[in-house]
Amino acid sequence: MREELQKFIDTIPAVKDAFRLKETFWINDKKVPQAQQPAAALHPDQIEDARNRLERFAPYLEEVFPELKATGGIIESELREIPGMKDFLNTAYGAGIEGRLMLKMDSHLPISGSVKARGGIYEVLKHAEDLALEAGMLKETDNYRVLAEPKFREFFGKHTVQVGSTGNLGMSIGIMSAKLGFHVIVHMSADAKQWKKDLLRGRGVEVIEYADDYCAAVEQGRKNSDGDEMSYFVDDENSKNLFLGYSVAGERLKNQLDRQNIPVDRDHPLFVYIPCGIGGAPGGVTYGLKQIYGDNVHCFFTEPVHACCMMLGMATGLQDQVSVKDLGIDGRTDADGLAVGRPSAFVGKVVEPMLSGIATIEDKKLYDLMRGLLDKEDIFIEPSACASFGALIRPTELKGYLEKAGLTDKMKNGTHIAWATGGSMVPEETRAAYLKMGL
Ligand SMILES: *Cc1c(COP(=O)(O)O)cnc(C)c1O
């Protein structure tokens, strides 16, 4: 262990819990009201820019992915109320949830079946657009359906896209890049599941496997890419484009809540719980939601006990200068989408003034929650996604937060959203194996 971390273990209870491999719930005391948000590394206008870009690409996406016909090329997931799961959490965990419990089903996002179908696909599209604009082959005012033509596939085929991944990011980047015609190399860490590698290879993606963890796969991928001027590296540790792709979810969610006549205001608070790996996905969604709902939305991240990197980075203020391994934590978790030992270099700083807190959860509970959701709602989500219930099953800490925020008497009118970040592409036999885990 790094010696200078001892003072954080001694003074911050959540860090002490993490060090002892105990579940914890860190409340962020650096959160400030929306009106006092400092200028960040990003500007809200950039969300608008990302949204417009996704709209430009919609005709192309509709053309090449039949499953996007229904939405006219927009990649979006259902927001569904899950009253049976609410009863289950209240009964089995004494969660005491009042108000509505909903599931944001990014687990069922088209194309790649995880939240990465937001950020990952967005970043590939942005890169493709940049290249085509620069080559004079495309104008922003064109109908982007033309990108399906052979001359574009041929053009993109001279370029390489590379990414390091624990699995799901590689799936999004791989599937989308291959569809456009890019040569694509996915550097997979040891946590990545075999079926993801098989699926990608089946789509013409080059998959390189590493015996080491996620950081090592990223490092190698970056090195590979930097040595090739025709290669572009999707940098999960630093990427603003990924973050912006995720942030578009904020406005999309607002439209869905509006359509379902679910109010969000001072008397109807919104609580959102998002599983966190390196931080890009939950950070981007949080950033997007905060621009819309300000103080009326309360965002929490959830992480595995063994991969609580964002909690450590934010609670200590060290951000990406600390890794779980520095505390002697092994980073091993069945929640492969969250198996990250060191947080993003910029997300922690961006969300520091707006995030409500971070809960950690033991792996074995993920399987119980998985079975509960399947049993009560007939919805299957993967272990990582089940972490979205991790804060809701810690009623004592949540109660403390509500009291401090003066929200206790408002929660019966509130809405909780668990962000289910992945699952629909998990093969049948893997599902069956998951459902028997931890029994
Ligand atoms: C990637 C992923 C997350 C978290 O996203 P980060 O950007 O790594 O924080 C959560 N759940 C699933 C299923 C994922 O694949």
CATH of the domain at 83: 3.40.50.1100
Q: Is residue 431 part of a domain?
A: yes
Q: Which of 242, 266, 283 marks a domain boundary?
A: 242
Best CA proximity match to 388, nearest among 146, 120, 182, 105: 105
Same domain, 191 and 228: yes
**Residue in this structure with the two tokens 């896209």, named with its chain if needed:** 161
Could you tell me how far CA 333 lies from the centroid of its own chain? 16
Give CA separation, 364 vs 23, 154, 438, in Å: 12, 47, 6
Ligand 1 near 116 CB (within 6 A):
yes
Is residue 257 domain-shared with residue 400, that is, in the same domain?
A: yes
- In this structure, the answer to whether residues 178 and 130 fall within a common structural domain is yes
In a domain, 60, yes or no: no
Q: Please indicate, yes or no, whether residues 164 and 249 belong to a single structural domain of this protein.
A: no
337 CB within 6 A, ligand 1: yes
| Ligand 1 atom at minimal distance to the Cα of residue 236 | 7
Within 13 Å of residue 346, how many CA atoms lie on the same side as its CB?
15
Tell me whether residue 375 is in a domain. Answer: yes
Please indicate, yes or no, whether residues 253 and 320 belong to a single structural domain of this protein.
Answer: yes
Q: Are residues 338 and 427 in the same domain?
A: yes
**Residue finishing a domain among 242, 268, 299:** 242
Return the best residue to mutate from 285, 302, 338 for the ligand 1 pocket (most ligand atoms within 8 A of CB): 338
Residue 432 lies in a domain: yes
Distance (Å) from CA 338 to ligand 1 centroid: 6
Whether residues 412 and 269 share a domain: the answer is yes
- The answer to whether 14 and 310 are in contact (CB under 8 A) is no
- Closest C-alpha among 272, 283, 273, 271 to residue 361: 273
Is this structure's pTM higher than 0.85?
A: yes
Judge whether 302 lies within some domain: yes
Q: What is the largest CA-CA distance in the chain?
A: 61
Residue-number span of the structural domain to which 151 is assigned = 115-242
Q: How many other C-beta atoms are found inside a 10 Å radius of the C-beta of residue 158?
A: 11
Query: Is residue 284, in this structure, part of any structural domain at all?
Result: yes
CB-based contact 315:348 (threshold 8 Å): no
Last residue of a domain, one of 242, 264, 283: 242
Q: Are residues 318 and 344 in the same domain?
A: yes
Residue 55 within any structural domain of the chain = no
Instruction: Give the chain's radius of gyration (CA, Å).
Output: 21
Q: Interior CA angle at 20 toward 17 and 26, to 5°?
A: 15
Tens-level pLDDT at each residue, the chain (439 residues): 788 899 999 999 999 999 999 999 999 999 999 999 988 888 999 999 999 999 999 999 999 999 999 999 999 999 999 999 999 999 999 999 999 999 999 999 999 999 999 999 999 999 999 999 999 999 999 999 999 999 999 999 999 999 998 889 999 999 999 999 999 999 998 878 899 999 999 999 999 998 887 888 888 899 999 999 999 999 998 999 999 999 999 999 999 999 999 999 999 999 999 999 999 999 999 999 999 999 999 999 999 999 999 999 999 999 999 999 999 999 999 999 999 999 998 999 999 999 999 999 999 999 999 999 999 999 999 999 999 999 999 999 999 999 999 999 999 999 999 999 999 999 999 999 999 998 8
Judge if the beta carbon of residue 344 lies within 6 A of ligand 1. Answer: no
Residues 340 and 354 in one domain: yes
Please give the distance, rounded to the nearest whole angstrom, from the Cα atom of residue 133 to the centre of ligand 1: 31
Residue 63 CA to ligand 1 centre (angstroms): 28
- Does residue 239's CB lie within 6 angstroms of at least one atom of ligand 1? no
- The preferred substitution site among 386, 421, 426, 430 for testing ligand 1, maximizing ligand atoms within 8 Å of CB, is 421
Q: 360 and 256 share a domain?
A: yes
Reduce the DSSP state of residue 164 to 3 states and report it. strand
Kind plus residue range of the DSSP H or E element containing 418? strand 415-420
Q: Encode 212-233 in three state secondary structure.
A: CCHHHHHHHHHHHHHCCCCEEE
Residues 253 and 383 in one domain: yes
Among the atoms of ligand 1, which is closest to the Cα of residue 281? Answer: 7
| Domains held by the chain: number | 2
Note whether 336 and 384 are within 8 A (CB).
yes
Examine residue 416 and state whether it is found in any structural domain, yes or no.
yes
One domain, residues 267 and 410:
yes
- Residue in 242, 384, 389, 419 to alter for ligand 1 test, most ligand atoms within 8 A of Cβ: 384
Phi, psi of 33 (to 5 degrees): -60, 155
